[in-house]
Structure 1
Amino acid sequence: MQTEIILRKAQQEDKDIIWSILQQAIARRKKDGSSQWQQGYPNEDTVETDITNGFGYVMTVDGVIAVYTALILNDEPAYSTIDGAWLSEGEFLVVHRVAVDERFAGQGMVKKLFDQIEDFTRSHGIPSIKVDTNFDNIAMLKILESKGYSYCGEVYLAGGIRKAYEKLIL
């Protein structure tokens, strides 16, 4: 049977599930020895704000929420100053707060998420995707490399320096 994978806007009723997934991801980052997400961000208010602003998205697998992310069009103030250079100057989609439910960990969900995000970006006529991650988030760094994202430099975000990547879609 074919698995149905859907990327959709998060709804208010998804909030508790999303927060649970983020808490799992925060704990995993800590267990992996990372400093990312260890200073009280993201938190429940972050989820609430994402959903209210229409930034929150979930990827479901056969109707079950497997992954959470925030997708934000053209709006990441930290990206205006980069130690390096972006590939493009035009519109872009920012990917933030990628978190996988532990029940789906190790199943390539983030790669599937990025496929979905690229389709979403293409279908909305947005020419590029920008994303940043912590220097010690080895799993995400490997995924970005495998999905063809180009390392553009470093940005200062959420109290730390992040590696910044971009992929031209159109």
Structure 2
Amino acid sequence: MEYSFRQAQQVDASQIWEILARAIQRRKEDGSNQWQDGYPNPSAIKADIEKRNGYVLIDGDTIVGYCAILINDEPEYAKLIGKWLTEGDFVVYHRVAISENYLGKGLAQKMLLHIEDFARQHNIYSVKADTNFDNLGMLNIFEKLGYTYCGEVFFRGAPRKAFEKVLAH
């Protein structure tokens, strides 16, 4: 199965929101407080797309995954309680979600590899991300893909585990 990765368009917003809404529900069913405070929401998706930060993983015409990718744009990362592996430019991603119908196919990993390609295309060799302490799926993916735990960051008052992966040049 060949999946493609591209920048999201406004026309994709409702499909993207459907995927995120189900992911929010799954986090709740898993007993997590991640994404249970009204964020992310449709206006966050709209803003991602307007700022050209939204990206989708596609199977034919179907959007199967979503994430926001930013360069050097996460103020909370400057307040890390811990230590990053590198000091320079970095790519950060947020709001990673895979469609309910495509779970268990390794697509989150595939999307993260596309994000690494995005970083290399911009001559950036550091990828940073964070997740909730109880998001075992994402923690597992970070481990599989060679991320290093660097410490804690806080979003809307809640602590998150922060990770970095240094990419080969």
The question of a shared fold, defined as TM-score above 0.5 by the shorter chain, is answered with yes
Alignment partner, residue 71 of structure 2: 73
SS of 1:25's equivalent? Answer: helix
Q: Unaligned stretches of 5+ in structure 1?
A: none
Give me the whole-angstrom Cα distance separating, in 2, the residues matched to 1:159 and 1:37.
13
CA shift digits 1:106-137 (9 cap, x unpaired): 11110111111111211221121000000000
For the pair 1:36 / 2:34, whether they are aligned, the reply is yes
Once the two structures are TM-superposed, the CA of residue 61 in structure 1 deviates from its matched residue by 1.9
SS of 2:124's equivalent? Answer: coil
Alignment partner, residue 59 of structure 1: 57
The code of the aligned residue for 1:54 comes to R
The code of the aligned residue for 1:144 comes to F
Which structure 1 residue ranges, 4+ long, deviate > 2 Å from structure 2?
A: none
The code of the aligned residue for 1:154 comes to E
For the pair 1:102 / 2:108, whether they are aligned, the reply is no
TM-score (norm 2): 0.97
The code of the aligned residue for 2:37 comes to Q
Root-mean-square deviation over aligned CA pairs: 0.9
SS of 1:87's equivalent? Answer: coil
Once the two structures are TM-superposed, the CA of residue 5 in structure 1 deviates from its matched residue by 1.4
Alignment partner, residue 132 of structure 1: 130
Give me the whole-angstrom Cα distance separating, in 1, the residues matched to 2:128 and 2:61.
28
The number of residues matched between the two structures is 168
Alignment partner, residue 158 of structure 1: 156
SS of 2:131's equivalent? Answer: strand
Q: Unaligned stretches of 5+ in structure 2?
A: none
